[in-house]
Structure 1
Amino acid sequence: MSLTFGLTGMDPATETSLKAAFTEANARLGGSWQLLPETQADYIVVDMDSMYGPMSWLRLHAAGKTVIGLTSAPRTQADHRLGQPFDAGSLAQLLAELAPSVVAASPAGLTPAPQPQDQLPEEQPAVAAADSEPLSVAATEEVGVAPREPASVAVAQVVPAAPTMQPHVPAVEIEPTRLAEWLASGRITGKVQLERDGTTLLIDTDARRYHGPSALKPLVAHVTGPLAAADFVATPDWDARAAAHGESQPLTRLLWLDGLLAGGGKLMPGFDPDARYQMLKWPQTEREYPKHFRIATAMMKGPATLSEIAAASGVPEADVTDFVNASLATGFADVERPPEPEPEAPKSGLFGRLRGR
């Protein structure tokens, strides 16, 4: 596996901060890592505390990627964890743990070159006046200096920069995919319109809200896709159309519906059918799916297997599995994890010392 690093499923501010931390951390490790779009990277950071994080993790896990969960929680279901808040030091430590051979391979066992702020005055090379001019792209290639990283690697290659709040949709056509994956990847931002089977869906990705039917079943075609970039349309009268649809709804409802329909009665890839699942918080059950209230009630009693939940709720196991998928995708449920072992109490006194021998 190559040392390629990517980012997805996070807001622009977090992405910008993480890229800055990566640049500094990578320099400390000798520049062995490369920042690439998520489709080309092997190690990908996902903000598990964001709305899109769990769905991004499911998609990447199914694609065989190694996922690094960015989270303030003490543990994560991803392959590795980067604590929130983070800095260049914590990220450098993680990168060194992921590729220990990089540190060991430093020439003659030396540590990476010191950063400019750590160098002594006599170690800092003199800077000519001409060097103060910014280098053009051609000049940087000629002298071997890497041009500055664009503001958003994952988006910049397919999304043109826009100085206004107009919706961003990819200028380069890519393979059609489901709505949840479009939202998780950040390839569309702003206010867009999506129409399927005569039903209009108005999405505001910045506010993480949508306007459309109050029921979910009319939006099945919108969620299950596949959707191409051309399906997301910029509408001049978006605000007026949104007002006509009434109150907005959170995008998590659409992600929940996607998780409900994605498995077809089978668990998402990466989850064990024999594991025990638990509700972390009470979900918003939909009137269109009355069985879900019974499933959620059974799951709130404690961790249980799919078959145990089905027996307790009186709902077929396939329906239970779909509900668990939806709850996992939106962070309402999780796999039961063994508790952390408690540290052994220190031995004291004569008998304690004798037992410790």
Structure 2
Amino acid sequence: MPLTLGLTGMDAATEIAIKAAFADANTRLGKQWSLVPDSQAEYVIVDMDSMYGPMSWLRLHAAGKTVIGLTSAPRTQADFLLPQPVDSEGVAALLQELAAATGESLDLVAVDIPMSTRADTPSPAGMTPAPVPQDPLPGEVVDQDEEASDPDQPAVPAPSAVAPPVNVAPPEPVPLVDEGPDSLLGWLTSPRLKGRVRLAHGDVPLLIDADARTYHGPALLKPLADHFQRKVEDADLETIDAAAWAAASAAAGDAQPLNRLVWFGALVSGGGKLAGGFPPDTRFQMLKWPQTEREYPKHFRIATVMMKGPATVVDIAQASGVPEPDVTDFVNANLATGFADIERPPEPEPDATRSSGLFGRLRGR
């Protein structure tokens, strides 16, 4: 049986790194593997940490492919796991494991690989930045109540029932009427916030570059929850000069998109109550695969249900097996960032029987 591997659902830098690691590993395994397009491959690597990785997994799973999940989490919904960041040793171990599943045994041989051809692994791409060395892996800090309700494999509806992402531009984020002008979320979604500032209160450093729409802080989001639970005055947002910013941002961590912070703020600020003043029978829909964070494993199930079509919070909770307050918080977060919207009545079809222009007016007489 030919051993074929494909790649999909990842950015260009990640794909380049995997291909380089594969070339190294495959050489040491006697070149028994072939890298082919994912449609022709028996095994396909998918970046589960990227925005569209989970949807690629669903598509490939429905097509009968064996999927390898590339992730920095300790486990994956896919059939096999390739740890992130990628190196040739990890890829070699994976190729050996896959070959063993088909009854073949591949042994590593010593091969001198020039340094110029070795893989330089980029930082993981996707909505969730990789943990910095001093942080625990996201999977190690999952709340006990979440872990208890999240068995080894999450309950995901049949892939064939899941609609592909809607290929439309997201609308303007739905305004959150209860965010409050003096909350951090209120500042983040207001034109009042300008330039580079440091949030003075709290034990967890947070630097915000409002003009660049980025922030510097921990790789995990939950440590930032306290910032959204208290009042933020003008004096709490310290403007700092370029030299101080350079030093503080280097210590605080890599730049991350400010939209991620808005997402988290909307998630934790609602307290399980629907924002925006929407009645309980409002039906919500996903416009594209949303941002999912590895700190919240239940969100994958909620998003999968919502990708099927418009539904109320109660219906989403019942279909996903996730409590209504968690569904509500997730809906709030994705409304605030434009990934979700309320169901809107379709635009009326133009009357085909009425014609415009001179001849139409003449016929109408």
- Tell me which of the two structures has the higher relative contact order, counting C-alpha pairs closer than 8 angstroms and 6 or more residues apart: 2
